[in-house]
Amino acid sequence: MSPNVGACDRAIRVIVGSILIGIASYGQGTPYAALAWIGLIPFATGLVGWCPLYKILGINTVKVS
């Protein structure tokens, strides 16, 4: 499982995931709570640096020098 998510992509994923989780936390008991589950996906893939969908599609945003 080699990394396929680059540094910039990872930062964006963590930020967007955090925002979605924050919105969901603020709106507990509302339909916005579903955003927490959606926000966990980009947050987790940003932390780990590997995205299964990128693997399937053959995308790699890691800069190779």
Q: Write out the chain's pLDDT in tens, 65 residues.
A: 889 999 999 999 999 999 988 888 887 777 778 878 899 999 999 999 999 999 999 999 998 75
Distance in angstroms between the alpha carbons of the first and the last residue of the chain: 19
Alpha helices for the chain (secondary structure H): 7-26, 34-48, 52-57
Rounded CA gap, 45 and 58, in Å? 16
Domain that holds residue 50: 7-55
Number of domains in the chain: 1
Residue 2 lies in a domain: no
Residue 46 lies in a domain: yes
Q: What is the pTM of this model?
A: 0.85
Residue 62 lies in a domain: no
Assigned token pair, 24: 């969901």
